Amino acid sequence: MPNNPLSFRPERKSEVEKSHRTKPSTAHRVGHGLRSVYLDNAAATPLDAKVLKAMLPYFSSIAANPSSLHSAGQAANKAVTQARKSIAEIINGHADEIIFTSGGTESDNLAINGIISVIPISNSVIPAKAGIQNPMDPRIRKDDKRESLPHVVTTAIEHHAILELLTRLQKNGAIDLTVIKPQKNGVVKVDDIMSAVNDRTVLVSVMYANNEIGTIQPIGDIGRAILKYRAAKRGTLYEVRGTFPLFHSDACQAAGYLDLNVEKLHVDLLTLNGGKIYGPKGIGLLFVRRGVKLSPTVIGGGQERGLRSGTENVPGIVGMAKALELVQKNHEKESKRLAQFRDRLIKGLLRIPKSRLNGDPAERLPNNVNISFMDIEGEAAMLYLDAKGISCSTGSACASTSLDPSHVILALGMSYEAAHGSLRFSLGHDTIRSDIDYVIKVMPGIVEMLRKISPVTLDMSHF
């Protein structure tokens, strides 16, 4: 039986592929004769050879501490300064607005903790009610307390680095939190965000593009609306006139494909990271607009304007700058190329019965495909694909350490089962057309096989 999914033989690569790259990196594609198709670029990207080349000297020949005054130290210092400058140029900011961190998660944490801890505590616990000075006053009700806390607005589809931290701060009584649900297509409405903003709102955090379903949020529009709100607002408990709310966006997934001009996005804080843009892992940055006051989360020798102490990760910083330069230089062309593949893959996979695309078909990153196959479980499907040499990921509960299904897919109003059977394919620089066709070819058999052994048959009218 040629197409029997039960006979799980590794697929051989038959044709010679021609990559779009001038120098195709085919080594990883043909190892052991098993065709290897890496479609998990939203999780991690391979390091670009040019980035590695730029980084190498800073591991050995220029390895001094940038804070040292000797000439070796100054050479390292120069590299960091240069990297900072080039990144600032790309995002249309200033060099002193770039704070290097260890990655996206740390940048998100610095943005949130940094803001919340500069809010004066006394102000945040004493209700703004006339006459009450003592925070222990029995007349203070729980609601009064909540209503006196600094308020944060975010969305239900943020990365855990945002959501987990914010819910923890809320539990600890440090903030009042509003979590906005996206529309069914995974895009948040500007009005929904703005109607949650109030006089106590100190921060609005909305990701630029979602890591699971790839939907792109209207960051520029939200930014503009916030500017308008600020301008019309008088000073409050926490602020001099018009400072708050600040606007933060996590752009880790967007950086490879979208415009990062902070003046167009109107963000006060922007998170970027190296490991998703063909740069090194373990490096990231937070753009902090001039005039925004943050308190440091890592304290020590005062590097990074005192906001993030610790000897600079020089090779990482150099690599991050190079990677950002390369992806941004090519982002329009590459977006066009991948969007075609993306749409081809979506079209091909949706031919499988009982499948659904998660997230808007157009307002999404050019490299993201996220589809739910009903009646099957995603981790099993992922491993069957893996046996065919295809790497992807899933929003299934079974694959998460907490045994919770994807909060993003649930936030779209999709069922638990839909989250369970969701697969994410994230395309990248190495993706070629025949990779897409290969997935389209093997997927139906896998779904069919897993449905054969599944006791679940959902009624599609519910979706």
Which residue ranges make up the site for ligand FES (CB under 6 A)? Answer: 397-398
- The residue within the footprint of another protein, chosen from 120, 141, 452, 460 (CB under 8 A), is 452
Please state, in angstroms and as integers, the Cα–Cα distance from residue 171 to each residue in 9, 106, 175, 446, following that order: 51, 20, 8, 43
- Can you say whether the dihedral through the CA atoms of 231, 237, 243, 246 is positive or negative? negative
Angle 269-273-275 (CA atoms, 0-180°, nearest 5)? 170
453 binds another protein (CB under 8 A): yes
Nearer to another protein by Cβ, of 352 and 397: the residue is 397
The residues that bridge with 355 in the sheet, in sequence order, are 373
Least distance to ligand FES from the beta carbon of 377, Å?
7
Q: Going by C-beta distance under 8 Å and a sequence separation of 6 or more, which residues neighbour residue 128?
A: 147, 148, 237
403 binds another protein (CB under 8 A): yes
Least distance to ligand FES from the beta carbon of 419, Å?
12
Q: Quick one: tokens of 226?
A: 């916030």
Q: Which residue has the tokens 């941004």?
A: 328
How many whole angstroms separate alpha carbon 101 and alpha carbon 310?
9
Q: Which of 121, 383, 398, 460 is catalytic?
A: 398
Angle, nearest 10°, between helix axes 314-350 and 433-452?
A: 60
* Order of strands, sheet of 246-250, starting from the edge strand that comes earlier in the sequence: 98-101, 284-288, 269-273, 246-250, 201-205, 151-155, 176-180
- Can you say whether the dihedral through the CA atoms of 363, 265, 100, 201 is positive or negative? negative
362 binds another protein (CB under 8 A): no
Burial of 95 (0-12, 13-18, 19+ CB in 10 A): middle
Angle 242-245-251 (CA atoms, 0-180°, nearest 5)? 130
Q: Quick one: tokens of 416?
A: 């638990």
Nearer to another protein by Cβ, of 434 and 454: the residue is 454
**Of these partners, another protein, ligand FES, none, which one is at the site of residue 456 (CB under 5 to 8 Å by kind)?**
another protein
- The residue within the footprint of another protein, chosen from 376, 392, 427, 447 (CB under 8 A), is 376
387 binds another protein (CB under 8 A): yes
Least distance to ligand FES from the beta carbon of 409, Å?
16
Least distance to ligand FES from the beta carbon of 454, Å?
12
How many whole angstroms separate alpha carbon 6 and alpha carbon 197?
55
How many whole angstroms separate alpha carbon 280 and alpha carbon 317?
9
Least distance to ligand FES from the beta carbon of 397, Å?
6
- The residue within the footprint of another protein, chosen from 399, 412, 414, 442 (CB under 8 A), is 399
Do 44 and 279 touch, CB atoms closer than 8 A?
no
Nearer to ligand FES by Cβ, of 128 and 398: the residue is 398
**Of these partners, another protein, ligand FES, none, which one is at the site of residue 380 (CB under 5 to 8 Å by kind)?**
another protein
Least distance to another protein from the beta carbon of 298, Å?
29
**Of these partners, another protein, ligand FES, none, which one is at the site of residue 455 (CB under 5 to 8 Å by kind)?**
another protein
Half-sphere exposure (Cβ direction) of 71: Cα atoms closer than 13 Å: 0
Spell out, one character per residue from 414 to 433, where the chain touches another protein: x when CB under 8 A holds, - when not: --xx--x-------------
Number of residues that bind another protein (CB under 8 A): 25
**Of these partners, ligand FES, another protein, none, which one is at the site of residue 453 (CB under 5 to 8 Å by kind)?**
another protein
Nearer to ligand FES by Cβ, of 140 and 397: the residue is 397
Interface region with another protein, contact rule CB under 8 A, candidates 118-126, 320-328, 344-352, 390-398: 390-398
How many whole angstroms separate alpha carbon 247 and alpha carbon 238?
16
405 binds another protein (CB under 8 A): yes
Catalytic status, residue 398: yes
**Of these partners, ligand FES, another protein, none, which one is at the site of residue 416 (CB under 5 to 8 Å by kind)?**
another protein
Least distance to ligand FES from the beta carbon of 398, Å?
3
- The residue within the footprint of another protein, chosen from 312, 325, 377, 430 (CB under 8 A), is 377
Q: Among all residues, which ones are annotated catalytic?
A: 398
